[in-house]
Amino acid sequence: MIKVEDIVEALKLAVTNLPEDVVLALKNAYEREEHEIAKYNLEIMLRAVETSKKKKVPLCQDTGTPIFFVETDGTWNVREIYKTIFEAVKRATDEIPLRPNAISLLTGKAIGNIPEIHVELGERNRISILIKGGGSENCSALYPLTPGDWFEGVKEKIISHISSCGGKPCPPIIIGIGIASPAEKAMILAKKSLLRKIGERHEKLGWLEEEILEKVNSLSIGPMGLGGKTTALDVKIEVGERHPASFIVGIAIQCWAHRRAFIEEKEDGEVMIWQ
């Protein structure tokens, strides 16, 4: 069974060390950029990445909401996994430290950090961690399109939505798209899509990911919304089943500080942590 210490280690890795594929995407954007302010913003981001990694401190003051996608082959005790995750998040908040980002809606008081946990049966025992900042989460959206809108409608809706967000989600962003029904399934798929590496293409819908990415970058919103060539680093799409009358599109936006980590327990009990 994965231990509290394993999850704390993975959380620390996620918030202090930006994955190499994301760093490379930022560097490539910097090399392509001609807009002076955009180039400066990308330089600042890359300097922050190096400082965070070197000093082992959180990359952003908003250490986000920790979202856990738990996949188990049935050998894990789900109740124990929940307890382990909650204890690990509590400990990580004190030790890393993480900013207490959970606030009571009714009292306005900070109550630490509360993990969001999704569990599904699969073929392995793995926990995928996605750190979600508030600015990017505020640009999440759910659109109930019609089956007649099809993928062209998805493209138009995404472009319109990103245009309306402007610099709010701290671009360059990664755009997660989930298409399914019911509605909650579409949004979960959108967030799960963000776990894929920059540049990884959907087996069947890679062409649509590329078309949307090109269109979004043509908006010239740019890094931090101040203009430039790179508004998005990538677009990810995941699809699921839908009701015949439904074609629901969930949009999950991730900021440039695309923080993630994975933990997996192998059959021999070995625990692996990576990004």
pLDDT at site 198: 98
Residue ranges in the chain whose pLDDT is less than 70: none
Whether the Cβ atoms of residue 118 and residue 33 lie closer than 8 Å to each other: no
- Look at residue 22 in the predicted model and tell me its pLDDT: 98
Nearest to 169 by CA among 64, 36, 14: 64
Decide: 198 and 139 in contact? Cβ < 8 Å: no
User: Residue 247 — φ and ψ, nearest 5°?
Assistant: -145, 80
Dihedral in degrees, nearest 10, Cα atoms 215, 210, 137, 83: 180
* Rounded Cα distance, 39 and 56, in Å: 25
List CB contacts of 54: < 8 A, sequence separation 6 or more: none
pLDDT tens sequence across 192-247: 999 999 999 999 999 999 999 999 999 999 999 999 999 999 999 999 999 999 99
Q: How far is CA 147 from the centre of its chain?
A: 27
Q: Exposed, middle or buried by CB within 10 Å (0-12, 13-18, 19+), for 149?
A: middle
Q: So what's the pLDDT on residue 152?
A: 95
Distance CA 133, CA 258 (A): 9
Topology annotation, domain 1-17+59-133+257-275: 60s Ribosomal Protein L30; Chain: A; (3.30.1330)
Q: Where are the domains of the chain?
A: 1-17+59-133+257-275, 135-254
Q: Say what the pLDDT of residue 1 is.
A: 84
> Which residues does 114 contact at the CB level (< 8 Å), separation at least 6?
65, 89, 102
